[in-house]
Amino acid sequence: MYIHIHRNTMFARFGILLTIINIALQVESVSIVSVSPSGTHKTIASALATIPNDSSAWEVDIAPGTYVEQISITRAGPITFRGQTNGTPSSYLDNLVTLAWNQTTASGVSDEATSALMVNTAQFKAYNINFKQLWGSKFAGPQAVAVSINADKVGFYQSYFFGYQDTLFAGVHSTIGRQYFKGCYIVGAVDYIFGSASAYFDSCTIASNGPGHLTAQKRTKSNDSSDAIKSGYIFNNCRVVADSNTNGVNLKAKVDLGRPWSPYARVVYMNTYMSDIITPAGWGSWYSVTLGDYSNVQYYEYNNTGPGSWSQNAAARASVNYTRQLTASEASAYSLKTWFGDVSWI
């Protein structure tokens, strides 16, 4: 196995450098790291340690293997992780690289501190990497995160996320950050996509491995119409299904599309297939002692299909007073370009 890092360069295949000429007519040096006897860096962390904390753009190309380590991204400039694949890089099914960690909040740390990957800087991207919280294989709590994101302009492409409770923290604490997920597979059971980010899930598979709630969104204010970046989770052209391994549990009608972590939660599902794991009512509720007012919750659906969709459960959906179907005109506000505005960073 090897990890290959380079700055502002392009690779046809791993380890093969194409000739490029940048505007300054300077070719940056390339560092090769390997787990072979001749390798310099055997872990992702050691490779990251060689990258300067400045505004330059870097890429870390990671060869096949399982890397059991906890990674925190804090550098100032853009950085990309690219995992080698077995075939086309357009699908997570061919991923050969896994970043794994095993820790829960029972160890005395925060939710986010249990993550295999913690992204704390803008302009991070990951391609074709599996992120696993190993505790998830126990099919039980407490909270144990695979990836936590506390940054703006972050993208994951054809990546796999595995956990059980709180798999993916798509949030940002101080401001609202934009996060984009394309062609990803996300596994969990309880609140397994959670946080306050402006997150867009494009052609992803959301797969439950136990009873529970797909999302726990935490928008922090009722009126954000004038905000350049709006908090909310948008699922477009996705699939909501049971994972291939549910520990023997039949999940039919045992999963909901989300429960509000705040009185202003916003989640939209559109053009999405919903299997029979979704309850007829579709949506869940938070603990009554902490959330009693649902009047500002925005839970929307549009043009979804499958046995768990609104069209197949209209009466039960209509009984939930904090969700409704969107019109085509309303749904257009949640297209990728309209939602994010600037998409050049994607």
Determine the 3-state secondary structure of 286 from DSSP.
coil
Find tokens 């509720």 and name the residue.
285
Using an 8 Å Cβ cutoff, are 193 and 167 in contact? yes
Rounded distance, CA 220 to CA 259, Å?
A: 15
DSSP annotation string for 8-49:
S--EEETTEEPP---TTS-PPP-EEEESSTT-S--SHHHHHT
Looking at 61, 111, 166, 191, which residue is catalytic?
191
Structure-token pair, residue 12: 């046809």
Find tokens 């929307």 and name the residue.
300
The strand pair at 31-34 and 2-7 is best described as antiparallel
Instruction: Let me know if 191 is a catalytic residue.
Output: yes
DSSP element (H, E) containing 314: helix 314-318
Structure-token pair, residue 97: 């690289």
Closest CA to 163 of 135, 191, 183: 135
Rounded distance, CA 225 to CA 190, Å?
A: 30
Determine the 3-state secondary structure of 82 from DSSP.
strand
Structure-token pair, residue 137: 């294989």
Rounded distance, CA 20 to CA 4, Å?
A: 17
Cα–Cα–Cα angle for 125, 270, 144, rounded to 5 degrees: 50
Using an 8 Å Cβ cutoff, are 62 and 71 in contact? no
Rounded distance, CA 98 to CA 334, Å?
A: 32
Q: Which residues are catalytic?
A: 191
